[in-house]
Structure 1
């Protein structure tokens, strides 16, 4: 649910200083290079060289395409979005990232590029997150650091996208924390959306913590992991009824992640942190802002996140597509599957990714794309809101 919570509470500052030290070391050992210069094979490549190569590889040069980062005035502050797609005739897909304040923009290059053949994909750094945190003072952002105001922010962004691209409807994809905003917005304005795509859905914040904790403790006992058992049992009963702390949630997250509840088969989240470090969409200062923005945001959004409860929010006026990772215990798949069984909507579909946990778009990117194309895209195609398909001739 809090995608980078463990990273922020346990290793956030270490990552920040280690990244800074690495950058300084590279600057000290690497000669100055121009943007167009080839890397020296005898020296490590600089971050700038790597990001230039990645960015060049995924350039969008088609005249009907779009590839830009835009600072928009939303909710009284400056908020950053990335808009990428091969053909503006394709439907718009707005991605609501997790966290709170864990922007997907810096890691999106690892999974999003193929999406851009079929959708105009919008990544938005929400209030308090990443580039948007960096672009504003905390004093300016604080009055809107709540679910209702951030849903208002999302609504303003949707209106901008509908107007700019001449779309009556778009797709709304909410991941993890973003699924809270996604449900709220789909409930307010179902007429704006071809479908709400629920991914790693937060259904009930307190129950979410309980199921994830029980999973981690069950796995630790089965393995005989004395350290994990001791640390988890010391928090019992969990989550309890009192106010939650970052330390307690961080401990649950640490062991739930260790047993594959965040990314199946992985014991940590380093693969994603490493990918962010090479992001062609983020500067060094933007990367440093991730942890700072997350720690700031959690001060306002942790309790609202835990208080979220959609057990009875099951009637939707737009189609609903629910994607779950079969091993997800960050937002436990059982809760999303049970919630799905009660949903009423013009149409609904549940897809369980067999070899994924919470990060299914990165864990099984090919299958995730196939399902976006087969489950979601037809809604837009039926409305004539898609670029012409390829011409295929059989001989």
Structure 2
């Protein structure tokens, strides 16, 4: 009789533990990473699911306000984590970076956060999604710590920005009008200053049919952004991954907009064809530009869920 009671007790305990490990999670947390407080948003329908960590772009462009738009479906299958990197959004509100901004600093922050999340959720690996600027951080992790990743998802990735910007500058000079050509004549690749970057991006947005009404498209905003970000962004843009990263030792999946002239989709396709990886795929969105997760959130999420990442 005691054996029966013991079995029932163990079964009840198991069910209780299992139930506790399969709870919805929706929380904002402050973690100490790289000697400063940094802000993360954790959201998912089941906290036992695999982790999917997003690395936002910009640099300095938080995805917190867009989290549900770009990941509401993903939250059914993953614990989705958004992180405001140092000098960005909620993390900047908490504290400024005491150190000068360098690529190694961001690389170390990313690695430390991943270690912290794996420990917190008791997972051996996670899925990592790097978006634009964030793709550079993701490529670093995929290169140096592939054992920590089930897969790396490179979204509008920075592959060879010198080549990408050269392609778009030539296109703009050929297709835009006299005023554009006059301003674009001042632009050198790689960009030497914020003004050159502004002129290039200004006419690139106009080429894509976007009016200069958003704050991020104004010259004053670009100049203010450059005070914090231009140097470290330029150093990230200088990296040619055809040369520095010919092999990635974890599965890697590329998401690119066919109309992306910022991180040019032709460069992404070329790199996809050449990079060696245990598993790879390219998803090209015919009607999307650089911001494809925001403009095409449903197909973006559906591909991740249905084709590859439902299970670890």
- Name the TM-score class by shorter chain: 0.7 to 0.9
Specify the SS of the correspondent of 2:109.
helix
Aligned partner of 1:154 in structure 2 is: 110
1:305 and 2:236 are equivalent in the alignment: yes
Q: CA RMSD in A?
A: 2.4
Aligned partner of 1:328 in structure 2 is: 260
When normalised by structure 2's length, the TM-score is 0.85
Specify the SS of the correspondent of 1:70.
strand
Q: Distance in 1 between matches of 2:299 and 2:213?
A: 21
Q: 1:217, CA displacement in angstroms?
A: 2.4
Cα separation, partners in 2 of 1:246 and 1:171, compared to 1, 3 Å: same
Aligned partner of 2:183 in structure 1 is: 231
Contact residue 31 and residue 39 of structure 2 kept, 8 A: yes
Cα separation, partners in 2 of 1:253 and 1:69, compared to 1, 3 Å: same
Contact residue 132 and residue 158 of structure 2 kept, 8 A: yes
Stretches of structure 1 that go unaligned for 5 or more consecutive residues are 1-61, 274-289, 384-395
Contact residue 129 and residue 294 of structure 1 kept, 8 A: no
Aligned partner of 2:94 in structure 1 is: 135
Contact residue 92 and residue 170 of structure 1 kept, 8 A: yes
Which of 155, 170, 177 does residue 199 from structure 1 map onto?
Answer: 155
1:92 and 2:40 are equivalent in the alignment: no
Q: Distance in 1 between matches of 2:213 and 2:69?
A: 14
Q: Distance in 2 between matches of 1:369 and 1:356?
A: 14
Aligned partner of 2:3 in structure 1 is: none
Aligned partner of 1:175 in structure 2 is: 131
Which of 46, 52, 71 does residue 30 from structure 2 map onto?
Answer: 71
Q: Distance in 1 between matches of 2:302 and 2:167?
A: 30
Which of 114, 117, 124 does residue 73 from structure 2 map onto?
Answer: 114
Specify the SS of the correspondent of 1:107.
helix
Q: Distance in 2 between matches of 1:310 and 1:135?
A: 34
Q: Distance in 1 between matches of 2:211 and 2:207?
A: 6
Q: Distance in 1 between matches of 2:122 and 2:224?
A: 33
| Structure showing greater relative contact order (alpha-carbon pairs closer than 8 Å, 6 or more residues apart) | 1
Q: Distance in 2 between matches of 1:108 and 1:227?
A: 38
When normalised by structure 1's length, the TM-score is 0.68
Where in structure 2 are the equivalents of 1:1-395 lying within 5 Å?
64-138=23-97, 140=98, 142-143=99-100, 145-220=101-176, 225-232=177-184, 234-235=185-186, 238-239=188-189, 244-260=192-208, 266-267=210-211, 270=214, 294-312=225-243, 313-378=245-310, 381=311, 383=312
Q: Distance in 2 between matches of 1:166 and 1:137?
A: 30
- 1:87-131: per-residue Cα shift (whole Å, max 9, x none)? 112211110011111111122233222221121111111111111
Contact residue 84 and residue 90 of structure 2 kept, 8 A: yes
Contact residue 259 and residue 267 of structure 1 kept, 8 A: no
Aligned partner of 2:10 in structure 1 is: none
Residues matched between the structures, number = 288
Cα separation, partners in 2 of 1:214 and 1:151, compared to 1, 3 Å: same
Cα separation, partners in 2 of 1:311 and 1:135, compared to 1, 3 Å: same
Q: Distance in 2 between matches of 1:167 and 1:219?
A: 51
Aligned partner of 1:56 in structure 2 is: none
